[in-house]
Structure 1
Amino acid sequence: MSEQSPGQKRFEMVLGGKLGKGVLQIMDSPVAGWDPFTKSYYVVRFLRKEQMSLLWIYDIQPNLDWNWARLNGASIDAGDTFFRRESATGRDLGVLAASLHKKTHHSLRVLDALCGCGIRSLRYLIEADADFVWANDANENHGNVILSNLSQVSRGFGENRRWVVTHCDANAVMADSFVHKEYFDFIDVDSFGSDSSFLRPAFNALRFGGLLYLTSTDGYTSGGHRPQHCLAAYGAYLRPMPYSNELGLRMLIAGAVREASVLGYHVAPLFSYYSYHGPVFRVLLQVKRGKLPNNSHYSFIGYCNKCGNSQAISWDRLGQIRCPCNLNVPGSLLVSGPLYTGPLHSATYLAEMLNLAEQWGWTGNGTGKDLKKLLKQLIDESDPKLPFGFIKLDELASRAKIDSPPLLTMMSALHKNDPRLDLTKIYWKSLVITSIFVAITWWMLQEGYVTSRSHIASNAIKTNCPMAECIRIARELRQC
């Protein structure tokens, strides 16, 4: 056996030299495992086994999504391309959405406009069973890597061609498809920064009822630090607000709403996903024919630094903006927009995604638990009664001038009333972490408000309860 590389030795140490220890899933020949040193998954192949216990490794393939453990050993070579292992969840969501479209419409033509190393394209081919995938990346130096990865699927010929690779400007590819009326069912644009130039070409190249998967990685702009840049890219002027990462999603949707309206279309968000690494904002939109009769969800957002209240501001109220607290402190009321202010997700669609993920066995172990938790959180956020934004519990405690409610008091209150446990679906083992959220949530439910966690901020709640009422509830809770 040849000398092992440092990566091989490291992985053998992780597995402890024992077959099965640290192993996530065993297939015909490869084994998928997790390397905590690089925080990534690997596919390992056996050279030989002695007494069914010692593990000998001869090939390690890095830069794999967790889901590639399900692909019967399909491998990915990232080469010198930009590749984020942490973006696997966003790719999971895209594959689930594409597969649902194929099951519903019995056809799936995909454009991976900025394909990088081709990992998304390969997953759409294998997992979503796409009929055809156009993998495009403007960098010709990535060509060999992309071809090597996609060659694991037979290319096909003529009308049976499964995939093609090009190195063109993404907008040129979409314009060419529009001219030749070769429309796509699913377009994935995994772009950097706040590039929005592709929006109109993407709408033109997409079939009606098709899906557009958008990306932004410009957290600095969504944080309100470059309002002029945001205005140029998405037609919205953003100011710093406590829930800026949610505004990043709404900013992206708003830009799409504006462009679609120009073309006589409208869009419906199916899910919106924020990930802190990058950060990355990803939104899946369904494009439909015809303009909406009114743009009630395309308006402005106001936030008062003094009282913490947020409000939606319609276009006809722009000259009458004031905060309900009536303090009128100069500079206290911040206004951003126009932004999309409607629901970020479709609960029905997310339920279908969760059901499919469970059918595929994606929610049984490892990262799958995180995917299931995420989808359930997005479903909770989909309540149409929930407004935009969220309230961080730290901010709430600061405004109420109180400490966190005593843990024993919370546990006693929960224990005395079993329905509270049913409403919040909290187990005793997690009460230490979630007791504050559980208590405030239960009180808000009793007051007739709706509430949920936010997938964007772990210590925040989404609710239609005004800040003043939240403060009152928190103070009463503290006195229990």
Structure 2
Amino acid sequence: MSSLSLILKPLSIPTFISDNPNIKTFIFQRNIPPPCKSHCHTERGHQFDVGDTFFRSESATARDLGVLSAALYRNTTGSLRVLDAMCGCGIRSLRYLAEAEADFVVANDANENTRDIILGNLSRVASGSEEGKRWEVNHLPATRLLAECYLRKDYFDLIDVDSFGSGSSYLRVALDAVKLGGLLYITSTDGLSSGGHRPQQSLAAYGAYVRPLPYSNEIGLRMLIGGAVREASVLGYHVVPLFSYYSYHGPVFRVLLQVKRGKSLSSRYYGFISYCNRCGNTRAFSWNELGEISCPCSTNVKRSIVVSGPLWTGPLHSAPHLTEMMSLADQWGWFGDEEGKNLEKLLKQMIDESDPKLPVGYLNADEIASRAKLNLPPLSVIMNSLHEGGYAVSRSHIAPNAIKTDCPMVVCVKIVKHLQQAAEMSSCH
């Protein structure tokens, strides 16, 4: 052979067809579909194509929660108009139409290349459904679309903004375009800011200076709600969290808010959160208490106390709303499979987290073990002891190895040590 080696590369199917027109004719005459980037999925019984759009199957739970809330809203008000500001392949819009029985949905994605995928998916909702009757597809930047809806006085019952990054730039225009009494489903994927690694960024985006705290993922939800509280107050509204959901993939922080007219009766829930590195104690402070931030365990506040805020310091969920969601999911038969069991578990945990006695933050098992200097018994055993001691306690849906309780860290450590001593004495006998 010559010293020149011949490198053969396999042709892709589209390239092979374009270079061989006879093959193209053969395919067309026999009704063989040409190759395309089609990626079919199924979610809650709905088949859809994601094409080249960004899609996460892990976000199905967030879509479940949105659809359940939308259906409850429609059952209560008798109508439901939805604006899906960043619809991707259109699966959320499809489910709002098919499951929540939305009267009308605007499916918007700034990328015009997604149009055929979205149209194809929405056409599956019902035979004979056509664009312009129950849904329409747009390709505008979300801020422009929301602003135009506001200028036309075209308000929506539910606005879903599933954005990347902080998502704070969409809050004001989304609040402008949602009906009073309507729902705003907002998103953040800015885990670095919620972790306190970009305090200047969180200050610019949400008006909150966030420092590293051991329950940073809960802070991400509170930061997002706090930003909405601030923007709503400028417009003379207030917002009520119906549920707050954290998912590890991303990470993703999603919050469903109900928008209401007038100033909030619970403005005390927009304040500051302190954490004591020395004893592990967490407290919420109002604006009037800013000069009084301290911890009983130490007089050296500068070295022991970390403060973040202003943030939402109130309840993350509405127990009545979650209870209705759970009842509807059960009615729809959603709890039958493994996926459904996970949803049922999540809703139960959220309901438990809604206990008004539970404060900001959670106690991480690793931190408790480190402070107690011993291996922990099962969290269920610790929770039973806290209940017996008169404390409120629940698991956290945000962190599987953590508990929410009004028991101070110092007392929790003492309880854990007592449990260990009791176990050792029992083993001796």
TM normalised by structure 2 equals 0.87
2:140 paired with 1:168: yes
In the alignment, the residues of structure 1 paired with residue 301 and residue 155 of structure 2 have an alpha-carbon distance, to the nearest angstrom, of 53
In the alignment, the residues of structure 1 paired with residue 401 and residue 124 of structure 2 have an alpha-carbon distance, to the nearest angstrom, of 43
Post-superposition CA distance 1:370-417 (Å, at most 9, x none): 000100010110101101100011211211122224xxxxxxxxxxxx
Identity %: 64
2:406 paired with 1:464: yes
The residue number in structure 2 matching 1:398 is 370
2:203 paired with 1:231: yes
The residue number in structure 1 matching 2:104 is 132
Counterpart contact for 2:39–2:51, Cα < 8 Å: no
SS in structure 2 opposite 1:324?
coil
Counterpart contact for 2:276–2:305, Cα < 8 Å: yes
Distance 1:218 1:248, change over 3 A: same
Q: Structure 1 unaligned segments of length 5 or more: list them.
A: 1-60, 406-435
Q: Structure 2 unaligned segments of length 5 or more: list them.
A: 1-37, 423-429
2:70 paired with 1:93: no
Distance 1:212 1:65, change over 3 A: farther
Counterpart contact for 1:264–1:291, Cα < 8 Å: yes
The residue number in structure 1 matching 2:385 is 443
Counterpart contact for 2:167–2:186, Cα < 8 Å: no
Distance 1:78 1:294, change over 3 A: closer
The residue number in structure 2 matching 1:264 is 236
The residue number in structure 1 matching 2:23 is none
Within-5 A mapping of 1:258-337 = 258-293=230-265, 295-328=267-300, 330-337=302-309
Post-superposition CA distance 1:211-266 (Å, at most 9, x none): 00010011111100000000111110100000000000000000000000111101
Name the amino acid aligned to 1:66.
E
State the aligned residue count. 383
In the alignment, the residues of structure 1 paired with residue 247 and residue 387 of structure 2 have an alpha-carbon distance, to the nearest angstrom, of 29
The residue number in structure 2 matching 1:64 is 41
Counterpart contact for 1:65–1:88, Cα < 8 Å: no
Shift in Å, 1:165 = 0.5
Name the amino acid aligned to 1:437.
L
2:49 paired with 1:84: no
Shift in Å, 1:65 = 4.6
In the alignment, the residues of structure 2 paired with residue 65 and residue 186 of structure 1 have an alpha-carbon distance, to the nearest angstrom, of 24
In angstroms, what is the RMSD of aligned CA positions?
Answer: 1.4
Shift in Å, 1:66 = 3.3
In the alignment, the residues of structure 1 paired with residue 289 and residue 95 of structure 2 have an alpha-carbon distance, to the nearest angstrom, of 47
Equivalent in 152, 156, 159 of residue 180 of structure 1: 152
Shift in Å, 1:157 = 7.3
In the alignment, the residues of structure 2 paired with residue 330 and residue 261 of structure 1 have an alpha-carbon distance, to the nearest angstrom, of 32
Counterpart contact for 1:66–1:367, Cα < 8 Å: no
Name the amino acid aligned to 1:455.
H
Q: Is the deviation greater in 310-319 or in 364-373? A: 310-319
The residue number in structure 2 matching 1:476 is 418
Within-5 A mapping of 1:335-414 = 335-405=307-377
Counterpart contact for 1:63–1:85, Cα < 8 Å: no
Tell me: higher relative CO, structure 1 or 2? Use CA pairs within 8 A at least 6 residues apart.
2
In the alignment, the residues of structure 2 paired with residue 327 and residue 150 of structure 1 have an alpha-carbon distance, to the nearest angstrom, of 62
Counterpart contact for 2:239–2:264, Cα < 8 Å: no
Shift in Å, 1:149 = 1.0
User: Which entry has the higher C-alpha Rg, 1 or 2?
Assistant: 2
Q: Is the deviation greater in 437-446 or in 320-329? A: 320-329
Name the amino acid aligned to 2:144.
A
SS in structure 2 opposite 1:79?
coil
The residue number in structure 1 matching 2:6 is none
Distance 1:465 1:63, change over 3 A: farther
Shift in Å, 1:330 = 4.3
Post-superposition CA distance 1:117-150 (Å, at most 9, x none): 1110011111110000001111111111111111
Distance 1:479 1:221, change over 3 A: same
The residue number in structure 1 matching 2:25 is none
In the alignment, the residues of structure 2 paired with residue 293 and residue 110 of structure 1 have an alpha-carbon distance, to the nearest angstrom, of 28
Shift in Å, 1:94 = 0.7
Name the amino acid aligned to 1:64.
H
In the alignment, the residues of structure 2 paired with residue 184 and residue 207 of structure 1 have an alpha-carbon distance, to the nearest angstrom, of 6
In the alignment, the residues of structure 2 paired with residue 329 and residue 107 of structure 1 have an alpha-carbon distance, to the nearest angstrom, of 53
In the alignment, the residues of structure 2 paired with residue 87 and residue 157 of structure 1 have an alpha-carbon distance, to the nearest angstrom, of 26
